[in-house]
Amino acid sequence: MKRYKYTLDLHKVEHTETAVPTHVTIRTPTTADTAVLVDLMMDAYPGSIDFDGTETWGDAWHEVDGFFQGRSGMPLLDCSRLALADDKVASACLIGMWDERQRPLLYYIMTAAQWKGQGLARIALHQALQATAAAGYAEILAIITAGNMPSEKLCMKAGFKRMDE
């Protein structure tokens, strides 16, 4: 599958307060959230270009646990955000260091099927980007599968630009 790299100059991230609906709470993730994030991934990805239908709960566990264990780069939990709707994790934006580039990377952005289209990913992403900028990083990268229009649209609205190959 073809994937494109995107970049965002974090100096350009708006530092305005994000309007959060009263039924939504934003917080940072912890390793105790692993199973909840696996469930979220299994709910969020079916029907997307990044899900071929053969992925199992165990595969998703390996992905989320790998993020927390830093298998691809150190997780930046203070920069990552979870959006809880009615006290349940409805959306997640997980940021970690991409060792190859020595820059923060948007590893995962996902929203439960019942909450898609309600702005929770936008809120989680915006707050994660603000936290990443506040942590002193100048740039963040994202890798998006070609044809993943929801992720591309979300990232482009946040200011990401596709890098030349």
Residue 88 has a pLDDT of: 95
DSSP string, the chain: --EEEEEEEGGGS--SPPP--TTEEEE---GGGHHHHHHHHHHHSTTSTT--S---HHHHHHHHHHHHHTSSS-B-TTT-EEEEETTEEEEEEEEEEETTTTEEEEEEEEE-GGGTTSSHHHHHHHHHHHHHHHTT-SEEEEEEETT-HHHHHHHHHHT-EEPP-
Give the CATH number of the domain where residue 13 resides: 3.40.630.30
Residue 101 — pLDDT band, cuts 50, 70, 90? Answer: confident
Domain span at 138: 3-162
Of 14-18, 92-96, 104-108, the least confident:
14-18
- Name the domain count of the chain: 1
